[in-house]
Chain A
Amino acid sequence: MTGELIIEGKKVWKIYESEAGPVEALRGIDVHITKGEMVAIMGPSGCGKTTFLNCFSGLDDVTKGTVRVEGTDIHAMNDNKKSEYRARRMGFVFQSYNLLPVLSAVENVELPLLVSGVPPKAARARALRWLEELGLKGRERHRPLALSGGQQQRVTLARALVGDPAIVWADEPTGNLDGENSRQVMELLRGLNKAHDQTFIVVTHDAEVAKSCDRVLRMRDGNLLPPG
């Protein structure tokens, strides 16, 4: 593995407390991901894929271990710093889109830019450009519920990429899409990865999706399986 290290996890543990006792979702895993890589995290349901995404992106705390993103221990940051870091350097794509239903497509896309402090006019221009790039010209003013599933996922992609993030986290990005739409979305992700040299971490259980990635990390019971 060569190139600039962008994500580094050492002995990362995540233990949830539940009524039935502690649940070890991540069991001391070590991870190294380099800049510009497109990595798939695969594994059966309940293996800890989403926990991996949450803990390594800073959405959730880890129980033990360290996660360094772009050389910085993300869990050493306070909540505000983490929020600011996510706003500037990360983008997210979720299976259920998580678009704000009361905002239009363009408003949803420009929101992370506004959070980062980009002036509204510039934010709107960039959001429109991304929507056009993703084939949503003419749909900018539509609210999410007026768009199809594939269109909603493309709005989500635009929202994730509009801030030119260093890392894009995608949790089952094709989970709600049919075969054709899945293929289109993955082609899009792959193209953007190549074009912008951004790092993509794609959580999926779909082998076809994993095939489009540079590398596949397989998980089982909170552990990363050895390559191969």
Chain B
Amino acid sequence: MMDAIHVFHLGARGVADLFTSPTGLLLVLLAIVLLFSAILALRDRITLKIGFRNFVRGRRRTIVLLLGLLVGTAIISSSLVVGDTVASLSTHFVYITDGNVHEAVYASQAGGYAPLPLSFFTDLNRSLEGQPHVAGVSPLLISIGTLSGLDHESGIPQTGMNLIGTDGNSSGALGPFTTTSGGRLSGPAPGTVLLDPTAAQALDAHTGDHLLLSLGPRAETNVTVLGLVQADARGGFQDNGEGDVFLSLADAQALTGALGSVNYIAVTNSGGAQGGIQYTSTVMSAIDTALPSIEAGFPNGTLPSGIADHNVLQDDVSSAENSASQLTTLFLVIGLFSIVSGSILVVGIFVLLSEERRGQMGVARAVGMTRWQLIKSYYFEGLAYSLGSALLGTFLGVGVAFLLVLVLVNLVAPSTSSQAVLASFTVLPSSLLTAYVTGFLLTLTTVVFTVAYVSRLNIVRAIRSLPEPPLSRRSYLRIGILGAGILAIGLLLVRFGLPTSQDIGYVELGSSIAILGAGLLAAAFVPNRYAFSAVGVLLIVFWGYYPLRERLFGTGHPGSIFVLFVEGIFLILAAILVYLFNADLVMQGLSRLLSRKPRQVPVVMVAFSYPYHKPFRTAMTLSIFAMVLFTIVAIASIGSGISANLEGTMTAQSGGFTMAGFSDTPIGNLPGTIHNNSTLAPEIGTAVAFLSAHGAVEMASKKGPVGFSSQIAAAPLGVPSWEDFYSANQYNFTATESGMSAAQVWRTLETNASVAVVSGDFGAAGDFSFGPSRPAVTLGTVLNITVPGAQAVLPVHVIGILSETILSVILINPGSMESTLGTNQSALFLVTTAPGADPQHVIYDLKRAFLPYGLQLIDFQQTLDSSLQFLLSFLDLLEIFVALGLIVGIAAIGILALRAIVERRSEIGMIRAMGFRRRQVLIAFLTEYSFLSLLGIAIGTALGLLLTYTLSQSVGGFLSFSVPWVSLALIVGLSYGLTLLATGGPSYRGSRIPPAEALRYSE
């Protein structure tokens, strides 16, 4: 088993990555920091000694601190390694689907490739013969997603398959086929076919079965299955999910009617699939040089226009790597909360350490140590923690990534063997280094800033443990000036971000910064409680009440997933500000609530006095718990909201129909054919045939006109009721012009030639992708539509945006479709099955009946079930990933508990002396930690639910607001349980200290 695990892929690329940015830059930074540290250490050994001794002073505490500090690095490391592995897996699939095709020469045409004379291939082959990096040139005849087949033995049809005509003699460079029994074949003989696993499974075909293949009503042939082949580089070639059927080149030419032609010339580089990529540019240059002279040898009009060479494998590998990189980004953004929590913990730990050593620091300063030396001693201690925790975090992240990849691959490709997953698990040295150096620098930087702050101490106050005096009037004035500056920056972000930004996040960030700045400014003139409570409430209203943002900034602004991070941070900050500046009221209320019995009063008093009088520690613990719980609860409630809305989503997506059909060849009268078919007629309730065509659409954008392609359709009028879309559909809208009802929108579409309705995927609402490539279509947007063969461009304006996203269609007036665009053919259908009919059987019957047209069908229920199942499972995976952050929370509260039994030892002795029982001491401690963790959990949970609520308001459609009570109970129970586990031990030990011993103790 272990042989299959390639944990380290230390290829040339991996090593080379080390010295390219940004990894190289990080390495340089690491080297600079270490060199700087070494120089500091050599020049001042005493501070090095103090720092190092403090590091090794308490083993248990050192371990807890390292655990708390490593989480940030582990998040970075696991995100990067998931990216590495997904990139490796994606490229693995690219190598299968592209096969040994490094470059390809073809001319595109609508729906596929234009035919080229076979002699064109011969000429190109001859031209490239002398090229050292060309292993071979192969002629192919390919038709993507158009082939239909019926297995006579199983009786099962399949449509939308790929036809691949290949010449076994001249396509040797593509490699041999491997049959499922392990045999090797160079290619199919005339009259036979090879099926890849997808096609074989869909048709339930076996070797020797007889198939009817069809490429349209007048292009049919009967063949025998020569063999079933494995989905390797040859047998998985071009797979689009519906299956590959390999024919001999001659049979493919006969079936397509392209006699003596090919349409795709594959070029294979020397060095194998992966090794040959490096020659791509050289070979493409050679092809570019050869093509003009070859084309010149053909008479005018005998070749299609636009023949060109295409970079296939290299581009697809890059594209796969980009997709993996997006996944890394998603994990990193989701993990940002845990990373920020980790940083807060670093600050907290070093503030606690400095509080603990305040007296020592004062004495050290008194006997002549400079502030810089004090900073250095902490710097060395922080350096040891940073180096250690980053190392542990990096490798913990690899373990986490392995678990994530196992789950992820199981979601995406359940059929992938665990061996394949293990074999693809990839950890690039560059990723490890990036995670290590980033984690290390993040920790160290936080330490340096924290220590620089805490080292500003008054020597006398430090030695005598006197409290810091309240801020002076001058300090408040400085804060006010700072607030004014921050307010100005926020307002500038809003002013210039709103009209220009593609991402609403900048504007919302600006608004929040402005509120914060205004609060700081106000603090110079009014009591802190009023200023910061107002900031907190305003931020919560701003982020939590969506209609306000809609009113301020309007709708239709695209947002990225980063907005969610910004929103989360500000909401948590707001809640903690409100708590901190009103903690006395909270404490009074809670104390009254919990002090029903007189004997509970002193316990509650002791328990709540520390969180109240140590606001920094309280804020640290609350924010860490709140951030982690916020993300977990938000993800859980999004999943719950999606699940709760399943029925609504089904209606929204299906419009009340059972399935949608798409045909390669237009079908003249699908409803009529069904009506006259004795098998189909009883199975079908409604059948709508749209007038449809693939069209080109142009719309205005901020950067000028933008074009894209889309399916254009119109439901005919004057048809029998069982074919009438307008009366049968139950589609709903996310937005309609002037607030029209659905019925009004459809009536307008029936009668008005210049309006359109678009599928939900054209709208901006709910688009949280990493940057939409197409501008958002909103109500009133004017679309200029044309279709092939049309004599005019049809301008329409959008009056409704559907919730539906599966059809991805622009619906227009049927009159415009026929008269302006000249389309009267149907290739898009909606079908409702009759009550009691099995949709899968209906699909088989429909495919069989319309086999020559290549009718493909989507069962809405099945499609939604599988996609929602994937989405929900993926959300579960993210939930587990962010739950890693709980380690930070547990470490934070564990550190507080460990610290408490040291810091409050003599106080424990005193309260025991005055009569506190052991149990009361234990309850006081546990009440304190329970209060801190439960308040953090409550803030995080409430805000996570608030986020989902605002999301459900803003994206609408598939997401409704639903509280996942069971999940919440589990999450809260787990978080609180872990808190008790972390604090129970120290609290118990604290309560068992004999009072005399506790009174004797001094730190």
Question: Which residues of chain A from 88 to 104 have any CB-CB distance to chain B below 8 Å in the complex?
Answer: 88, 90-92, 94, 96, 98-103
CA distance A98 to B1002 in the complex (A): 11
CA distance A103 to B604 in the complex (A): 12
A116 at the interface (CB under 8 A from B): yes
User: Given A59-B999, A98-B909, A100-B907, A120–B598 Cβ distance below 8 Å?
Assistant: yes
Chain B residues near A116 (CB, 8 Å)? 915
Binary CB contact string for chain A from 41 to 53 against chain B (1 if under 8 A, 0 otherwise): 0000000001000
Which of B599, B609, B913, B919 is the most central at the interface, judged by chain A CB atoms within 10 Å of its CB? B913
CA distance A143 to B614 in the complex (A): 13
B612 at the interface (CB under 8 A from A): yes
Instruction: Please tell me if the beta carbons of A98 and B907 are within 8 angstroms of each other in the complex.
Output: yes
Which of B601, B918, B920 is the most central at the interface, judged by chain A CB atoms within 10 Å of its CB? B601
Question: Which of A50, A86, A146 is in CB contact (< 8 Å) with B914?
Answer: A86
CA distance A193 to B803 in the complex (A): 86
Interface size on B (CB < 8 Å)? 36
Instruction: Please tell me if the beta carbons of B994 and A114 are within 8 angstroms of each other in the complex.
Output: no
Instruction: Please tell me if the beta carbons of B917 and A80 are within 8 angstroms of each other in the complex.
Output: yes
Chain B residues near A50 (CB, 8 Å)? 1000
B966 at the interface (CB under 8 A from A): no
Q: For B906, give the chain A residue with the smallest CB separation.
A: A98
User: Given A117-B598, A146-B467, A111–B914 Cβ distance below 8 Å?
Assistant: yes
Chain B residues near A111 (CB, 8 Å)? 602, 605-606, 911, 914
CB proximity of A53 to chain B, nearest CB, Å: 9
CB proximity of B992 to chain A, nearest CB, Å: 10
Chain B residues near A100 (CB, 8 Å)? 606, 609, 907, 910-911
CB proximity of A1 to chain B, nearest CB, Å: 28
User: Given A98-B906, A114-B601, A59–B915 Cβ distance below 8 Å?
Assistant: no
User: Given A87-B915, A100-B609, A54–B996 Cβ distance below 8 Å?
Assistant: yes
CA distance A59 to B612 in the complex (A): 30
B610 at the interface (CB under 8 A from A): yes
Chain A residues near B602 (CB, 8 Å)? 111, 114-115
Question: Which residues of chain B from 979 to 1003 have any CB-CB distance to chain A below 8 Å in the complex?
Answer: 994-997, 999-1000, 1002
A-B contact sample (4 more), CB < 8 A, given A101-B907, A111-B605 = A83-B915, A111-B602, A114-B602, A115-B911
User: Given A111-B602, A117-B599, A102–B915 Cβ distance below 8 Å?
Assistant: no
B6 at the interface (CB under 8 A from A): no
B613 at the interface (CB under 8 A from A): yes
Chain A residues near B906 (CB, 8 Å)? 96, 98
Instruction: Please tell me if the beta carbons of A115 and B467 are within 8 angstroms of each other in the complex.
Output: no
Chain B residues near A88 (CB, 8 Å)? 915
Q: For B909, give the chain A residue with the smallest CB separation.
A: A98
CA distance A85 to B242 in the complex (A): 84
A119 at the interface (CB under 8 A from B): yes
Instruction: Please tell me if the beta carbons of B916 and A115 are within 8 angstroms of each other in the complex.
Output: yes
CA distance A102 to B610 in the complex (A): 6
Chain A residues near B465 (CB, 8 Å)? 145
Question: Which of A94, A99, A103, A159 is in CB contact (< 8 Å) with B999?
Answer: A94
CA distance A47 to B915 in the complex (A): 27
Chain A residues near B909 (CB, 8 Å)? 59, 98
A79 at the interface (CB under 8 A from B): yes
CA distance A99 to B914 in the complex (A): 11
A132 at the interface (CB under 8 A from B): no
Instruction: Please tell me if the beta carbons of B610 and A98 are within 8 angstroms of each other in the complex.
Output: no
Q: 6 closest Cβ contacts across the A-B interface?
A: A87-B915, A60-B996, A54-B996, A114-B602, A102-B613, A98-B910
CB proximity of B318 to chain A, nearest CB, Å: 60
CA distance A98 to B918 in the complex (A): 18
Question: Which of A61, A99, A112, A145 is in CB contact (< 8 Å) with B467?
Answer: A145
A118 at the interface (CB under 8 A from B): yes
Q: For B610, give the chain A residue with the smallest CB separation.
A: A102
B595 at the interface (CB under 8 A from A): yes
B413 at the interface (CB under 8 A from A): no
Chain A residues near B1000 (CB, 8 Å)? 50
Chain B contact residues: helix, strand, loop or mixed: helix
Binary CB contact string for chain B from 24 to 36 against chain A (1 if under 8 A, 0 otherwise): 0000000000000
CB proximity of A28 to chain B, nearest CB, Å: 19
Chain B residues near A107 (CB, 8 Å)? 605, 609
Chain B residues near A112 (CB, 8 Å)? 914-915
9 A-B residue pairs with CB within 8 Å? A54-B996, A59-B995, A79-B917, A86-B913, A103-B609, A120-B601, A143-B467, A146-B467, A159-B914
CB proximity of A164 to chain B, nearest CB, Å: 13
Chain A residues near B915 (CB, 8 Å)? 83-88, 112, 115-116
CA distance A94 to B997 in the complex (A): 14
Q: For B464, give the chain A residue with the smallest CB separation.
A: A145
Instruction: Please tell me if the beta carbons of B609 and A83 are within 8 angstroms of each other in the complex.
Output: no
Instruction: Please tell me if the beta carbons of A98 and B999 are within 8 angstroms of each other in the complex.
Output: yes
Question: Which of B609, B910, B917, B999 is in CB contact (< 8 Å) with A102?
Answer: B609
User: Given A120-B598, A143-B467, A92–B996 Cβ distance below 8 Å?
Assistant: no
CA distance A120 to B598 in the complex (A): 7
Q: For B613, give the chain A residue with the smallest CB separation.
A: A102
CA distance A54 to B998 in the complex (A): 11
CA distance A182 to B742 in the complex (A): 90
CB proximity of B924 to chain A, nearest CB, Å: 11
CA distance A90 to B916 in the complex (A): 13
B466 at the interface (CB under 8 A from A): yes
Chain B residues near A96 (CB, 8 Å)? 906, 1002
Binary CB contact string for chain B from 639 to 682 against chain A (1 if under 8 A, 0 otherwise): 00000000000000000000000000000000000000000000
Question: Which residues of chain B from 459 to 504 have any CB-CB distance to chain A below 8 Å in the complex?
Answer: 465-467
CA distance A178 to B102 in the complex (A): 92
B847 at the interface (CB under 8 A from A): no
User: Given A59-B999, A100-B606, A143-B467, A120–B914 Cβ distance below 8 Å?
Assistant: no
Q: For A80, give the chain B residue with the smallest CB separation.
A: B917
Instruction: Please tell me if the beta carbons of B914 and A92 are within 8 angstroms of each other in the complex.
Output: yes
Instruction: Please tell me if the beta carbons of A79 and B601 are within 8 angstroms of each other in the complex.
Output: no
Question: Which residues of chain A from 63 to 86 have any CB-CB distance to chain B below 8 Å in the complex?
Answer: 79-80, 83-86
Which of B598, B907, B914, B917 is the most central at the interface, judged by chain A CB atoms within 10 Å of its CB? B914
CB proximity of B825 to chain A, nearest CB, Å: 82
Which of A80, A99, A101, A143 is the most central at the interface, judged by chain B CB atoms within 10 Å of its CB? A101
Chain B residues near A120 (CB, 8 Å)? 595, 598, 601
Q: For B595, give the chain A residue with the smallest CB separation.
A: A120
CB proximity of B692 to chain A, nearest CB, Å: 75
Instruction: Please tell me if the beta carbons of B996 and A83 are within 8 angstroms of each other in the complex.
Output: no
CA distance A88 to B920 in the complex (A): 16
Chain B residues near A99 (CB, 8 Å)? 910
Q: For B602, give the chain A residue with the smallest CB separation.
A: A114
Chain A residues near B609 (CB, 8 Å)? 100, 102-103, 107
Question: Which residues of chain A from 157 to 186 have any CB-CB distance to chain B below 8 Å in the complex?
Answer: 159
CA distance A77 to B1000 in the complex (A): 23
CB proximity of A147 to chain B, nearest CB, Å: 11
Chain A residues near B601 (CB, 8 Å)? 114, 120, 123
CB proximity of B991 to chain A, nearest CB, Å: 10
CA distance A160 to B911 in the complex (A): 12
B912 at the interface (CB under 8 A from A): yes
Q: For A103, give the chain B residue with the smallest CB separation.
A: B609
Chain A residues near B605 (CB, 8 Å)? 103, 107, 111, 114
CA distance A61 to B997 in the complex (A): 11
CA distance A146 to B907 in the complex (A): 18
CA distance A53 to B906 in the complex (A): 16
Instruction: Please tell me if the beta carbons of A102 and B612 are within 8 angstroms of each other in the complex.
Output: yes
CB proximity of A205 to chain B, nearest CB, Å: 17
CB proximity of B580 to chain A, nearest CB, Å: 16
Question: Which of A79, A87, A101 is in CB contact (< 8 Å) with B918?
Answer: A79
CA distance A101 to B598 in the complex (A): 23
Binary CB contact string for chain B from 320 to 360 against chain A (1 if under 8 A, 0 otherwise): 00000000000000000000000000000000000000000
Binary CB contact string for chain A from 21 to 37 against chain B (1 if under 8 A, 0 otherwise): 00000000000000000
User: Given A60-B996, A83-B917, A86-B913, A102–B614 Cβ distance below 8 Å?
Assistant: yes
CB proximity of A154 to chain B, nearest CB, Å: 16
